[in-house]
Amino acid sequence: MGNVPLNGEWRIDWENWSPKEDLTTVDYTMVPGHWTNSNSEKYPTGYATLSLTILLPENAKNLYLQNGVTRNAFEILIENNSIFQSGTIGKSISTEIPKLKVQTVALPDSKDQRIHLSLKISCFHYHNCGVATPYTIGNHSGINKLYLETISRDVFVFASLITLAFFHFVLYLFWRDEKTHIYFATVCFLAAVRLLSIGETRILYNYLPEGIYETIVRINGISFVLLYLAFVLYVKEIYHAPEYNLVYRTNYGIALLLFLALPLDIISFSKFLGAHLVLSLFGLLGLLYPIIHGVILRKPGSKFFLFSVVATISLFSLDILTEFAKRGIPYLAQYGFLVFGLSQALFIAERMIENFRNKERLKQEKENAEAKVKFKTSFLSTMSHEIRTPMNGILGMTQMLQQTELTEEQKEYLNLIKFSGDNLLLLVNDILDLTKLESGQFELHLEPISVRRLLHDCINIFKTQSDKNKLKVELEFVNEPPAFLITDQRRFAQILTNLLSNAVKFTEEGSIFVIVESTSIDDKKMRLKVSVKDTGIGIPEERMGNLFQPFSQVHSHLTEKTVGTGLGLAITKKIIEEMGGSISVQSIYGRGSNFTFQFDAEASFESIEGDVISTSNEMVKKTNWDSKLAEKYPLKILIADDDPINQKVSSLFLKKLGYTALQSENGEKTLDMIRTHLPDLVFLDIQMPDMDGITVTKCVRKSTSIEKQPVIVALTANVLEEEKQRCLSGGMDDFMTKPLLLHDLDFMIRKWAKKDLLPSNL
């Protein structure tokens, strides 16, 4: 008739392996289940005989029996003849050798359509004794089919979990930032390993030698703890809000409790393991809080996750029921593993899809933001160029006018014009600097600088600008600074001059001290700390919060001496942060302020060439010029500029230096004049109507008809670093920005006359 599970009441003879048939008092126990008596009273650890008489139909032959999970050692007998033995049964813990094995055995043919089946069981190594899963009788094909189905279920679930583990481990290798993959892979792997010991066929118990049962029980408990911890970490990685921390910590504590029981004897340990399973179930119920909350918040994949956790809790529930032998269907637990794995795979897949969508959205937003930044930079660059071009005429002609005979009233008016022009130029420079800092286009150009020389030169600039009788500007060294420091010279000087400029601006009389201290970090690195301390008007405490905000002027209510852009300190702070440093301020209103900045840099023992320093606006060598420069360096100079006012300013400047300049207003004419007149030095405007300056330069450099290659200096109103690099890459030798200053022109001519120029008009 097929396979028949031998479930129901079996006769039990407690502590008796040779029961008699004529006993008047017979007790019964339920199989599968713990061994109990008819009153459902549980027997302790010990030994007993379970027996059953099976009635067979006529001609029932070639029957087979598949035993269930029986703890700890047992022997199967038919008509008191042993047909299978697992382990060694004994009447004490010392004589018993436990072994848990599921086996299919052939039954001898019956002569009277009856089979008297007996089980001699001893159980001294586990707290729950008896038969945990059904015994089944059937024909050869039926029992084989049942066994293959059992094996197939275990193998199928095991292979599925291992595949999921491997797949998500590989995903983790590609997306290291997504730790959910590695945690999920760990959960699947541990679940697969655990299946070897709790599956229907108990593969781990079947094929290991006798004598290590206790070790396997403890390993089984540890595998459960590791699986539990991996699952909690997995949930935490997905729902990691601080409000859930108590739930996670509670589960950690519950999981780790089992390690306290490892030193106990096997019976105590198995009892603790059973209690631990129940406690773990309550801990897992607590994990529903963050998961259900995620469903309420509509987080991606939260419903899949809730479903999988419910399946997992069901799995643990079935584990517990199987552990206490209350049910005989443990293979459903294996399907619970599979449901968990597959539903989690769907959950992770949904999260990945959502992440890809978010990345695409972020990518689009990034591209839009970059386009806006690019437009903003381009706009500001263009506006800077357009503003600087007329500013070149205004400031240039102002310089020329200052060289003429003027009345005191005219000098006052001219000074106001120059003051306003300088402020406008400063505003343009500051806005460009702030834009580059905010857009991430700011770059540091590291080079070895002489610390003492840079500091002295910056201080000297302000000493010459202030009244020595009213205001002292002093430099102090706490200890000997490094001879050279590798940093951005121009930006270091810009920071220092910004702070000194503010100190001078807000200190009518008294003193300003620049205090420098250096500290060694290691063999190569130094920490430079610079304080700019003044005795000026100080800063009100309520305005300190706005001190480093753009366009914020703390003392805008004071005299015209404090007029500025409100960008200096904001730019200073951002530059220091770009250098990896920090800035702080201490101030007492009415008594002065102390700005301190520090940054780390490599100390260098290399020397630097030249004696140029950087200020907040441009590279300067000196502030005067030589009217007889042409006598010292008699060069032929060409000015190429399409703006007639700028041409006029440049030619007047050169005239002041003693030169008569050649002039051209477009690219074609510039090329013709270079070929014809062979100038030594060309000041070349970048933006010209017919051919830009870089194109002209490339034509000059490639030309074989030009006997002598001139030094070409870019002359442009575009001050961005990218423009400078573009010019130098295009073949130009140097770079100057408008508005052009007379001493800058003097310096540039000296620089190249000393280097490479051989005067062509000697």
| Cα 684 to the center of its chain, rounded Å | 47
- pLDDT grade for 493, boundaries at 50, 70 and 90: confident
∠ CA(735), CA(737), CA(739), 5° rounding? 155
Tell me, yes or no, whether 615 lies in a domain.
no
pLDDT digits (tens, 9 = 90+) for 312-322: 777 667 666 65
Q: Which CA distances in Å does 319 have to 132, 158, 198, 200, 587?
A: 12, 17, 8, 12, 70
Over residues 374-401, mean pLDDT = 75
Q: Do 557 and 668 fall into the same domain? A: no
Q: Do 577 and 640 fall into the same domain? A: no
Tell me, yes or no, whether 462 lies in a domain.
yes
Q: What is the pLDDT of residue 315?
A: 65
Which residues have CB under 8 Å from 617's CB, separation 6+? Answer: 425, 426, 429
Tell me, yes or no, whether 352 lies in a domain.
no
∠ CA(530), CA(532), CA(533), 5° rounding? 130
Q: Do 667 and 748 fall into the same domain? A: yes
Q: What is the pLDDT of residue 416?
A: 72
| pLDDT at position 608 over 50 | no
**Residue position matching structure tokens 């033995």:** 85
Q: Do 647 and 721 fall into the same domain? A: yes
The structural domain count of the chain equals 2
Tell me, yes or no, whether 467 lies in a domain.
yes
Nearest residue to 104 (alpha-carbon basis) of 82, 72, 134, 136: 136
User: 653-681: string of b/e by CB count within 10 Å (b at 16+)?
Assistant: bbebbebebbbbbbbebbbebbeeebbbb
Q: What is the pLDDT of residue 570?
A: 80
End-to-end CA distance of the chain, in Å? 125
Q: Cα separation of 8 and 26, whole Å?
A: 15
Q: Do 694 and 590 fall into the same domain? A: no
Q: Do 528 and 561 fall into the same domain? A: yes
Q: What is the pLDDT of residue 482?
A: 84
Torsion angles phi and psi, residue 445, rounded to 5: -115, 100
Tokens found for residue 629: 């420069």
Q: Do 558 and 637 fall into the same domain? A: no
| Cα-only R_g, the chain | 46
Per the model's pLDDT, the better-predicted residue between 410 and 123 turns out to be: 123
Q: Do 584 and 469 fall into the same domain? A: yes
Least confident range of 120-129, 458-467, 558-567, 590-599: 558-567
Per the model's pLDDT, the better-predicted residue between 64 and 180 turns out to be: 64
Q: Cα separation of 219 and 197, whole Å?
A: 9
| pLDDT at position 436 over 80 | no
Q: Assign residue 603 a region: left if phi > 0, alpha if psi is -120 to 50, beta otherwise?
A: beta
Q: What is the CATH number of the domain that holds 497?
A: 3.30.565.10
- pLDDT grade for 618, boundaries at 50, 70 and 90: very low
Least confident range of 21-25, 82-86, 290-294, 615-619: 615-619
Q: What is the pLDDT of residue 338?
A: 65
**Residue position matching structure tokens 């070149």:** 392
Tell me, yes or no, whether 612 lies in a domain.
no
Q: How many CA atoms lie within 13 A of 445 on its CB side?
A: 8
- pLDDT grade for 485, boundaries at 50, 70 and 90: confident
Q: What is the pLDDT of residue 575?
A: 83
Q: What is the CATH number of the domain that holds 738?
A: 3.40.50.2300
Q: Cα separation of 230 and 228, whole Å?
A: 6
Q: Do 580 and 678 fall into the same domain? A: no
Strand 446-450 to 63-66 pairing: unpaired
Q: Do 567 and 481 fall into the same domain? A: yes
Q: Which domain holds residue 743?
A: 628-754
Q: Do 594 and 635 fall into the same domain? A: no
Residue type present at position 274: G
Count of CB atoms within 10 A of residue 241's CB?
11
Q: What is the pLDDT of residue 754?
A: 72
Q: Which CA distances in Å does 682 have to 39, 66, 618, 669?
A: 115, 103, 21, 13
pLDDT digits (tens, 9 = 90+) for 559-598: 444 445 556 788 788 888 888 899 988 888 888 899 999 9
Tell me, yes or no, whether 513 lies in a domain.
yes
Over residues 135-154, mean pLDDT = 86
Q: What is the pLDDT of residue 52?
A: 93
Tell me, yes or no, whether 300 lies in a domain.
no
Please provide the average confidence, as pLDDT, over all residues in the chain.
Answer: 81
Tokens found for residue 141: 């094909």
Over residues 169-192, mean pLDDT = 84
Over residues 513-529, mean pLDDT = 88
Tell me, yes or no, whether 666 lies in a domain.
yes
Q: What is the pLDDT of residue 465?
A: 67
Q: Do 451 and 600 fall into the same domain? A: yes
